[in-house]
Amino acid sequence: MTEYLNIYIYFIIYSFLGWVCESIYCSVLDQKITNRGFLTSPFCPIYGFGALAILKFLTPFTDDYFTIFIAGILITSLLEYISSYLLELAFDTHWWDYSTYPFNINGRVCLQNSLMFGLLAVVLHFFIHPFVENLVTSANPNNLNILAMSFSILFAADFSHAVYTILG
């Protein structure tokens, strides 16, 4: 059970860190503070899922930066493409559009962002996750349970609000 709790905590942490990165990146591009993501709270679940996928599938390649980079590009691009498609299908709207970027695929993914995600996969795998893993595994399990339950309530409320707002 502890393993699943830790994975869920990683998801929370990486969803938050993804929101931070995405919001900073978009704020710089927009030249104003931009809150990115589907939710109102400071979490982008796609980053949590992306980080977990990278950690799950790329663990056997712990010493190979190039393989992590290339596989990170493929994993995150596939996740971004599928997420874009499913969000469009569910809500009949485009959450992002890269059709003006060179080397894009149906405006859902583009080479520029895929390369950045590959670099983030390397940084996550070799630098961020070892620190986060040590932090989580050394934390008090009761505190992790409280964090997990609190996040679940927050996420459910925020997700419900987002869906209600989008669908009117």
Place of tokens 């929101």: 19
Residues sharing a CB contact under 8 Å with residue 11, sequence separation 6 or more, in sequence order:
45, 48, 49, 51, 52
Cβ count near 2 (within 10 Å): 9
pTM of the model: 0.92
Sign for the pseudo-dihedral over CA of 157, 12, 38, 94: negative
Place of tokens 């596939």: 78
Return the structure tokens found at 91. Answer: 């809500």
Averages of pLDDT over each 10 residues, the chain, 168 residues: 92 96 90 83 93 93 90 97 92 88 96 96 96 96 95 94 84
